[in-house]
Amino acid sequence: MQQFKNLGEVFPSPFRKVDIPLDEMERDIRDVQRPMLSQDEKHEVPGCAEDLLAVYAGLDLNSEHGKDTPRRFLAMLNELTSHKNCNGDCMKWKTFPESVDQMIVVKKIPFYSVCNHHVIPFSGFAWVGYVPDGKVAGLSKFARVLNHFARKLQVQEVLTQEVVNFLEGHLKPKGLMVVTEAEHFCMTLRGAQVPGTTTRIVETLGVFADHSRTAKMEFLEAIK
């Protein structure tokens, strides 16, 4: 029986670069035995992708609308998870020396990600507040950081934490607070099916973490 190690082995070029361990999916598709594609067939979409969509979603692979869907599906997965193996080094991150000691708040940054549990989108907004300690970053950078860490299979808590870790590491601020609020389609479209429900995650560091301080209240007031 063929044992798939990762997508890079299963999916030929142009999906060769993809490298997601497929433990869950492996179990489902393990019984579908397919020979590895030869170099000549490298532009063929692997049968496991076709089977997944045909068997589980009733896709008609012979229809005009369905025949290219497995390829589009894989390309989409690849695109939505384009930073899966990246710790943020790909971003050109630059800070500027600045003596400002006031809280800087970047409000309502939109983001889109994919749920790690259900492979279905979740999307929402983030609010970032920080009190600089000698250096600041361009405001657009915060949106870049968010959308960088959103481009992989994610859990909202982890996304929020990764944004905090990255900003903390690069800005070394006196305080940092990141709030994310998202609607998870795995909850609104399936499962509990409760449209409009959102999940809010709050991470605080430094002056924001001290509940007795006014920084946190000031931030929450600012993002109302």
Residues contributing to the site for Zn ion (CB under 5 A): 83, 86, 90, 115, 117-118, 186
C-alpha angle with apex 18: 12 to 22, nearest 5 degrees?
95
In the bound complex, what is the minimum distance in angstroms from residue 164's beta carbon to Zn ion? 17
Sheet strands (E) in the chain: 95-97, 104-115, 121-131, 135-137, 153-154, 175-184, 199-206
In the bound complex, what is the minimum distance in angstroms from residue 165's beta carbon to Zn ion? 14
In the bound complex, what is the minimum distance in angstroms from residue 48's beta carbon to Zn ion? 22
d(CA 179, CA 174): 17
- Please, which residue, 2 or 123, has the CB nearer to Zn ion? 123
In the bound complex, what is the minimum distance in angstroms from residue 87's beta carbon to Zn ion? 8
C-alpha angle with apex 211: 128 to 199, nearest 5 degrees?
50
Contact 201, 128 (CB under 8 A): no
- Please, which residue, 28 or 183, has the CB nearer to Zn ion? 183
- Please, which residue, 54 or 119, has the CB nearer to Zn ion? 119
- Please, which residue, 191 or 222, has the CB nearer to Zn ion? 191
